[in-house]
Amino acid sequence: LNTMNPSDLPVSVVIPVFNETENLEELHRELVGALEKTGRPFEVILIDDGSTDSSWAVLRSLQHKDGRVKLICLRRNFGQTAALAAGFDHARGGIIVSLDADLQNDPNDIPSLIQKIEEGYDIVSGWRRRRKDKFLTRRVPSTIANTLISRLTRVRLHDYGCTLKAFRSEVIKNVKLYGELHRFIPAIASQLGVRISEVEVN
């Protein structure tokens, strides 16, 4: 039984990083700006998934400047799902938010995801209603995948591919992730009887 008032819950942000040197400083700046506005304590967990560029050096300098930054370094490239799973394992917040490092997700959407968790939902998934990706190579396959996953799992979401999500900690910590399963987190978690919602994101 979770007796803690959700507005007291600290937030852990979990971000997988593979060769993102040129994005990390801006990501950190935007993220901290958005999180400070929520007035909650937070930590930012960045998982270096075997980057071969200077990502690790940039991450170390961010950690040096900002004590809220926590780093995990994977021994080699394991893929986005494994990197996310490592971050979820180490997260200490009552609310856990996942997003991409490549600035495709807007940190300013995080407060509205958190607010939905406060309303009582266990998983809140971002919905990229106006996607700016390439039509044929990204949006068409994604539409097909969304339709298939929706039929197969009976969890109705518009956008299964959006990494920007918020979770109640006890829910995501009870989901075992492997392979490329991160797209199916809501479907897997639905078997735990969780309440799922969607929020439109940038």
The pair of structure tokens assigned to 162 is: 């959006």
**170 contact partners, CB below 8 Å, separation of at least 6:** 2
Q: Is 102 in the site for Mg ion (CB under 5 A)?
A: yes
Q: Is 160 in the site for ligand UDP (CB under 6 A)?
A: no
Site for ligand UDP in 53-92 (CB under 6 A): 77, 79-80, 83
Nearest to 94 by CA among 46, 40, 37, 17: 40
Q: Which is nearer to Mg ion, 18 or 88 (CB)?
A: 18
Least separation in angstroms between CB 50 and ligand UDP: 7
Q: Figure out which of the listed residues 16, 93, 94, 186 binds ligand UDP, where binding follows CB under 6 A.
A: 16
Contact 124, 199 (CB under 8 A): yes
Least separation in angstroms between CB 7 and ligand UDP: 29
φ/ψ region of 16 (left if φ > 0, alpha if ψ in -120 to 50, else beta) reads beta
Q: Figure out which of the listed residues 38, 63, 77, 104 binds Mg ion, where binding follows CB under 5 A.
A: 104
Q: Figure out which of the listed residues 43, 49, 109, 122 binds ligand UDP, where binding follows CB under 6 A.
A: 49
Q: How many chain residues bind Mg ion (CB under 5 A)?
A: 2
Segment contacting ligand UDP by CB under 6 A, of 13-21, 56-64, 148-156, 177-185: 13-21
Q: Is 17 in the site for ligand UDP (CB under 6 A)?
A: yes
Site for Mg ion in 32-91 (CB under 5 A): none
Least separation in angstroms between CB 138 and ligand UDP: 8
**10 contact partners, CB below 8 Å, separation of at least 6:** 40, 41, 42, 43, 92, 93, 94, 95
Distance in angstroms (rounded) separating the CA atoms of residues 109 and 163: 12
Residue showing the smallest CB distance to ligand UDP in the complex: 16
Distance in angstroms (rounded) separating the CA atoms of residues 174 and 171: 5
The DSSP code for 94 is: S
Three-state SS for 163? Answer: coil
Place of tokens 């992730």: 177
Q: Is 106 in the site for Mg ion (CB under 5 A)?
A: no
Three-state SS for 173? Answer: coil
Question: What residue ranges bind ligand UDP (CB under 6 A)?
Answer: 16-18, 20, 49, 77, 79-80, 83, 100-102, 104
